Homo-oligomer: A and B are copies of this chain.
């Protein structure tokens, strides 16, 4: 997962016509007292980076996969495998294009997609190089959903409630529905290895989808919605923390008043309709939320 903070393409020096000059692209400021989870590679130094002209690259024009995407995948694989070492230069775009028999814009599109992923860095007058620390991979795959369904976690779902009812005011507002409109109300307990992990309350407009309990127990809500032909587009999330109530601590098998990680989310489809509002509680003792933040200067 990539959290892009702000957009601001290169702009020549005279005239600062819009906000995003240097000094306005922030990454949040954080910190406390526990340890990180893994060591990146050895510390990078400032030796002149090696060049790579001998990379084996080839595209298949008969394939239905877009050329730029084929190239991007090969470069990504080379970076992951270490063939393209961190810090090495990619060789200029024109040469790369010539070697592959592609046009420069196509090569640029491939490279740009990797820059967007944080695997490459482009510097004008210098070249394109592989980011030194390649910690990108593990984090790309991590997400709350993946964490819950991850291999070896043996996730399961217990449906506590699945009914139709009037939307609470806050939910109606989030979904853009009239007050007290009927919605599908789903309360679930998500377990891993049979242990409770999260308590999930979701609300869905009932003209869109009323999930069946067996479906809910067999899969995640999003997979279910996709299966019903809904195209997810975006979501707005708020993460916080609070102490568990008596009932919550009972449900989640936590001590009374334990710290819980909270998340509220409104999800939209590709037409911009709100299709779901969720209010979730995670056991902080077993759960964290990881992501990667990219600063686009």
Contacts and interface: CB of A to CB of B under 8 A. Distances in A.
A214 interface: no
Nearest to A276: B31
A116 B223 CA distance: 23
Interface in A1-16: 1-7, 9-15
Contacts of A289: 28, 238-240
A32 B243 CA distance: 12
Contact of A32 (B18, B32, B131, B262): B262
A221 interface: yes
A174 B231 CA distance: 38
A54 interface: no
A120 to B, nearest CB: 10
B174 A279 contact: no
B34 A264 contact: yes
B32 A281 contact: yes
Given A105-B105, A270-B123, A280-B31, A292 B235 contact: yes
A68 B10 CA distance: 11
B145 A272 contact: no
Contacts of A18: 65, 73
Copies of this chain, count: 2
A43 B176 contact: yes
A145 B146 CA distance: 27
A154 to B, nearest CB: 16
A135 interface: yes
A284 B242 CA distance: 6
A223 B135 contact: no
Nearest to A66: B9
Given A30-B200, A173-B39, A271 B87 contact: yes
Given A13-B64, A40-B266, 8 more contacts: A11-B66, A18-B65, A28-B289, A31-B263, A40-B274, A233-B294, A234-B295, A240-B284
11 contacts: A28-B143, A30-B280, A31-B278, A34-B262, A46-B271, A118-B233, A123-B270, A135-B236, A233-B294, A236-B293, A270-B297
